[in-house]
Structure 1
Amino acid sequence: MRFSLSCANMWNSIKIFFQQHARSHKLVYPGTVSRTLPIPDHIQRPDYSWKTLKEQRKCSAIEIKNQQQIAHMKMAGSVARHVLNLAKSHVQPGVTTEAIDRLVHEEILSNGAYPSPLHYKGFPKSCCTSVNNVVCHGIPDDRQLSNGDIINVDVTVYYKGCHGDTSDTFAVGEIDDSAKHLIATTQECLRLAIKNCAPGASFKVIGELIEDHAAKNGFSVCRDYIGHGIGSYFHGPPNVWHVRTPRTEQRLMESGMTFTIEPILIEGSAKTKVLADGWTVVTKDGSRSAQAEHTVLVTDLGSAILT
Structure 2
Amino acid sequence: MKIQLKSKEEIERIRMAGAILADCHKEIAKVIKPGVTTAEIDRLVEVYLASRGATPAQKGYRGFPFAICASVNEVVCHGFPGTVPLQEGDIVTIDIVVNKSGWMADSAWSYRVGNVSQEAERLLQVTERALAAGIEAARIGNRVGDISYAVQEVARKAGLGIVKPLIGHGIGRNMHEPPDVPNFGRPRSGPKLQAGMVITIEPILTLGDTGAVFWDQDGWTIRSADGSLGAHYEHTLAITEEGPVILTC
The CA distance in 2 between the partners of 1:218 and 1:116, in whole Å, is 34
TM-aligned CA deviation for residue 108 of structure 1? 0.6
Gap regions ≥5 residues in structure 1: 1-58
The CA distance in 2 between the partners of 1:270 and 1:193, in whole Å, is 18
- Tell me the secondary structure at the aligned position of residue 129 of structure 1: strand
Q: Does 1:281 align with 2:236?
A: no
Q: Does 1:226 align with 2:167?
A: yes
**2:56 partner amino acid:** P
Task: Select 2:33's aligned residue among 92, 111, 115.
Answer: 92
TM-aligned CA deviation for residue 68 of structure 1? 1.8
Identity of aligned residues (%): 36
TM-aligned CA deviation for residue 160 of structure 1? 2.2
Gap regions ≥5 residues in structure 2: none
TM-aligned CA deviation for residue 279 of structure 1? 0.6
The CA distance in 1 between the partners of 2:143 and 2:244, in whole Å, is 13
Larger CA Rg, structure 1 vs 2: 1
Aligned partner of 1:143 in structure 2 is: 84
The CA distance in 1 between the partners of 2:97 and 2:30, in whole Å, is 18
Decide whether the 8 Å contact of 2:146 with 2:189 is kept in 1: no
- Tell me the secondary structure at the aligned position of residue 166 of structure 1: strand
Decide whether the 8 Å contact of 1:167 with 1:291 is kept in 2: yes
Task: Select 1:290's aligned residue among 231, 236, 239.
Answer: 231
- Tell me the secondary structure at the aligned position of residue 63 of structure 1: coil
Task: Select 2:200's aligned residue among 236, 260, 280.
Answer: 260
TM-aligned CA deviation for residue 67 of structure 1? 2.0
Aligned partner of 2:213 in structure 1 is: 272
Aligned partner of 1:26 in structure 2 is: none
Q: Under a length normalisation based on structure 2, what TM-score does the superposition of the two structures give? A: 0.97
TM-aligned CA deviation for residue 249 of structure 1? 6.6
Decide whether the 8 Å contact of 1:266 with 1:290 is kept in 2: yes
Aligned partner of 2:59 in structure 1 is: 118
- State the superposition RMSD in angstroms: 1.3
Q: Under a length normalisation based on structure 1, what TM-score does the superposition of the two structures give? A: 0.79
Number of residue pairs the alignment of both structures matches: 247
Decide whether the 8 Å contact of 1:240 with 1:249 is kept in 2: no
Relative contact order: is structure 1 or structure 2 higher (C-alpha 8 Å, sep ≥ 6)?
Answer: 2
Partner deviation per Cα, 1:60-98 (whole Å, 9 max, x = no partner):
x11110122111011000001111111121111011110
Which one has the bigger strand percentage? 2
**1:258 partner amino acid:** V
User: Runs of 4+ in structure 1 displaced over 6 angstroms?
Assistant: none
